[in-house]
A and B are shown apart, each in its own frame.
Chain A
Amino acid sequence: MSRLSSRHLLGLEGTSRQDIEAILETADTFREVLDRTIKKVPTLRGITVVNLFYEPSTRTRISFELAEKRLSADTVSFSPSTSSVKKGESLRDTLQNIEAMKIDMVVVRHSSPGVPYFLTRFSDANIINAGDGAHEHPTQALLDMHTIYKKYGKLDGLRVVLIGDAAHSRVLRSNIWGLKTMGASVAICGPATLLPYEVEKFGCDIYTNLDEALDGADVVNVMRIQLERQHAGLFPSQREYTRLFGVNKDRLKRLRRNYTIMHPGPINRGVEITSDVADGAKSVILDQVTNGQAVRMAVLYLLRGRDDEGGVS
């Protein structure tokens, strides 16, 4: 069963294990396409995908664009700084105008949580969330899970520690939902001020001491400290954060022997992770980037398999 139960990918909270498995398995096939001389298949020929990136992005935008092109879709990329958004056009009007040009899929990133869901209310296109505020970033979590799965052959029973800002990190939140659905044991570690209200509802182990969190972990996924979201002074200084929550070589001794270091990027080198760890033999940070394309190809392929009535097209 490869089809997804939803026409859209808005987040991993509530996404079923079957859907996640379908995406991860399909991504495996697309990973092989990326190793070919001609990294292109005609699968989405005739499909038009619009990339609406209202927030800056390097790897996610390029990854989606390449994934679309490698599936032979026609792509249009939109950035608000060079569009009518500058003239005050609303999000809804922008999308409805673009949709009037007969598009099929929309990949959207926006600083406001819920924008991808909002778009589904008046658009017939398949909507893919490429990051909505501090809410979710499902394809990043899926590529993280795919990377872990490729290394261990499973997700069930692995102990994964997510380090960083649980209050603001959409990557961390999507990872929590996805990993838990897939049976991994998830721990969050970060300053108490960066843990959200009612954090216990995530159903994870919560740590404010990094050394304790790392004990016996298989996978360490280090999140970027989002300096652009830190105006409220939620921790005293970068130096203190590094001392208490920075992943360095000494701290790796606490992990299991076959451990894995991950980071969704972009890395603040020397802040949340030291360069020798980020570039070390156990780091899969660049594999994550490659796998990201395969996962996004899988998501585009699987979502396009569904028609407007919820059937398969």
Chain B
Amino acid sequence: MRVAHEILEHNAGAESLAIIGVVTRGVNLARRIAGIIEDIEGIKVPVGLMDISLYRDDVHSKLDQPIIQRTEILFDVVDRNVILIDDVLFTGRTIRAALNQINDFGRPRSIQLAVLVDRGHRELPIKADYVGINIPTAHTDRVVLEVAETEGADRVYVIRGALEDEDSVSLARGKEGKK
């Protein structure tokens, strides 16, 4: 709610806005923020969704090949103030990929970044314009976001040391999480 107000304040209304959510959680958040903006301003802001897999910079590293999902931006981004929305901001590499992809769709007037959680540990010079909550974490912690649309409730978990031991993620869910 607060982020939606901040976006409207910063852009002097919703006229020029377009919202793009990074799949999958970012899309839920994008739709919600668009809904709140519509309630406040009475303007339906176009919402797109974006999978950044094809723009990753780790194609040659030993990672699982991602299952690519759909990118759906059915509006012209040219001359719009695009609000890019992701759930958790960590290294900044996802956002770097998303920025490149948006530019392939056209040249927006501006791109602003909104995230629900900023957990730090940036590897690129990227900073969010709108942040829901700042959560200090260790590099090995994992932040898991659940949203009402898919998990039935809005929750944010920090699982300590989870990136050292991937199996602990499923066990820890619901036990040591904190809102």
Residues of A near any B CB (own CB < 8 A): 1-3, 26, 28-29, 32-33, 36-38, 40-46, 301-302, 304-305, 307, 311-313
Contact = CB atoms under 8 A, between A and B. Distances in A.
Interface residues of B, number: 23
Instruction: Tell me the interface secondary structure of chain A in the complex.
Output: loop
A29 B53 CA distance: 11
6 contacts: A29-B69, A36-B105, A38-B104, A41-B104, A44-B59, A305-B65
Contacts of A28: 70
B65 A312 contact: yes
B55 interface: yes
B35 to A, nearest CB: 25
A302 B65 contact: yes
B68 A46 contact: no
Instruction: Tell me the interface secondary structure of chain B in the complex.
Output: loop
A41 B72 CA distance: 15
B68 A26 contact: yes
B51 A3 contact: no
Q: Which one of B60, B68, B106 has the highest number of Cβ atoms from chain A below 10 Å of its Cβ?
A: B68
B62 A313 contact: yes
B65 A43 contact: no
Q: Which one of B54, B61, B101 has the highest number of Cβ atoms from chain A below 10 Å of its Cβ?
A: B54
B91 interface: no
Q: 9 closest pairs, A vs B, by CB?
A: A305-B65, A41-B54, A38-B104, A2-B67, A43-B54, A29-B68, A3-B65, A312-B65, A2-B65
A46 B60 contact: yes
B70 A37 contact: no
B64 interface: yes
A29 B55 contact: no
Interface string B63-84: 1111111111000000000000
Nearest to B60: A313
A183 B72 CA distance: 30
B65 A37 contact: no
Contact of A33 (B54, B63, B64): B54
B68 A36 contact: no
A39 to B, nearest CB: 9
Nearest to A304: B59
Nearest to B104: A38
Contacts of A41: 54-55, 101, 104
A255 B62 CA distance: 50
A42 to B, nearest CB: 6
B106 to A, nearest CB: 6
Interface of B: 51, 54-56, 59-72, 100-101, 104-106
Contact of B67 (A1, A36, A43): A1
Contact of A40 (B56, B59, B62, B104): B104
B68 A2 contact: yes
Contact of B63 (A26, A46, A312): A312
Contact of B62 (A38, A44, A301, A311): A311
Given A26-B68, A46-B59, 20 more contacts: A1-B67, A29-B68, A29-B70, A29-B71, A32-B70, A37-B104, A37-B105, A38-B104, A38-B105, A41-B54, A42-B54, A42-B55, A42-B100, A46-B60, A301-B54, A301-B68, A311-B62, A312-B63, A313-B59, A313-B60
A38 B73 CA distance: 13
A312 B63 CA distance: 7
B51 A29 contact: yes
Contacts of A2: 65-68
B20 to A, nearest CB: 14
A104 B59 CA distance: 14
A294 to B, nearest CB: 12
A43 B61 CA distance: 13
B100 to A, nearest CB: 7
Contacts of A45: 59
Contacts of B61: 313
Contacts of A313: 59-62
A309 B69 CA distance: 27
Nearest to A42: B55
A122 to B, nearest CB: 24
Contacts of A305: 65
Contacts of B106: 37
Contacts of A33: 54, 71
A40 B104 CA distance: 8
A26 B104 CA distance: 20
A312 B64 contact: yes
